[in-house]
Amino acid sequence: MAAPRRDTRGIVDAAELLARVRFRRHEPAEPLRPYLEHYWLIDWDLPEPYASHVVPHPSVNVVFQRFEGREPFGEVSGIGLDLFTQKLEGRGRVCGIKFRPGGFHPFAPGRSLTSLTGRRLALDAVFPSTEGATEAVLGPEDERARVAALDAFLLGVGPHPDPQADLAMALADRIRRDRSIRRVADFARTEGLSVRALQRLFSSHVGVGPKWIILRHRIHEALEHAEAAGKVDWATLAADLGYADQAHLVRDFTATVGVPPTAYARRG
């Protein structure tokens, strides 16, 4: 598996966030790599509050968090359907586990992933026998020790063999990599599946349908273009991303990010 990605895809005003926090990605232990994108670590010490915004990926995250003035806690964050906003102030630390789409199911095999979609659950509501995990992850100042604690936590709860999860991960990864995939019916036919079977697989093992993932990757790419320096030809980009016209891209971008793409690009 490749090293953790270095892009900031999905982060709104990425430069502003990275100027205020220390953000790092780490690779998990070898047995966990087929299921995870990476670990992500954030520390901050802010003189004034700051709100971060992220267009969520089609991934479940397990997140250990410590905010000034609050007890540390862990939670399982299902795939977010809307723009995610987190207020950061004072000093704090977050250690997160980003699963590949479909990669969380082997760690919670009895659960349909749609039960997590759009929700954030306390860690012990999903993993009852993980007492002490939050302090083990957040406590060390040495971030290598934090990564080791994340490895130990995950290896203690799984993974459990799951051929359907393996299939879901492979199909979701193909959607991410292949920009020519634009219609669920065509994709299902290419994979030798009915549309219904494909949708059932993604519902239970990923948490959202394949169409949602296709559309979300389009928005991530559009956001990345809007973040980059230089003028964007939005009509050409809309066609490249598979939209019928520029208006459809503008509508989806505005509904997800909160402002039209041209206005967002001007903010930089």
Q: Do 57 and 130 belong to one domain?
A: yes
CA distances from residue 21 to 5, 65, 95, 110, 186 in whole angstroms, order as listed? 18, 14, 13, 37, 42
**Domain carrying residue 230:** 163-267
Q: Do 142 and 192 belong to one domain?
A: no
Cβ atoms 229, 195 nearer than 8 A: no
Give the count of domains, the chain: 2
Scan for tokens 């977010």, then name that residue.
80
Q: Do 58 and 142 belong to one domain?
A: yes
Q: Do 152 and 211 belong to one domain?
A: no
**Strand, coil or helix: what is 137?**
helix
**Which residues, in sequence order, are bridge partners of residue 38?**
98
Question: What is the distance of C-alpha 41 from the center of its chain?
Answer: 14
Cβ atoms 68, 134 nearer than 8 A: no
What does the pLDDT look like over 53-88, one tens digit per residue?
A: 999 999 999 999 999 999 999 999 999 999 999 999
Q: Do 170 and 247 belong to one domain?
A: yes
Q: How far apart are CA 64 and CA 150, in angstroms?
A: 10
What does the pLDDT look like over 100-126, one tens digit per residue?
A: 999 999 999 989 999 999 999 999 999
- The average confidence (pLDDT) of the chain is 93
Q: How far apart are CA 5 and CA 37, in angstroms?
A: 8
Q: Within a domain: residue 172?
A: yes
Q: Do 148 and 169 belong to one domain?
A: no
What does the pLDDT look like over 214-235, one tens digit per residue?
A: 999 999 999 988 887 668 899 9
Residue 1: pLDDT band with limits 50, 70, 90: very low
In terms of pLDDT, which residue wins out, 262 or 185? Answer: 185
Domain boundary, last residue among 114, 137, 157: 157
In terms of pLDDT, which residue wins out, 202 or 242? Answer: 202
Q: Do 42 and 152 belong to one domain?
A: yes
pTM of the model: 0.93
The set of long-range contacts for 3-11, using a CB threshold of 8 Å and a minimum separation of 24, is 3/27, 4/37, 4/38, 4/39, 5/37, 5/38, 7/224, 8/227, 9/57, 9/220, 9/221, 9/223, 9/224, 10/54, 10/55, 10/56, 10/57, 10/220, 10/223, 11/52, 11/53, 11/54
What does the pLDDT look like over 33-43, one tens digit per residue?
A: 999 999 999 99
Cβ atoms 182, 242 nearer than 8 A: yes
Q: Within a domain: residue 6?
A: no
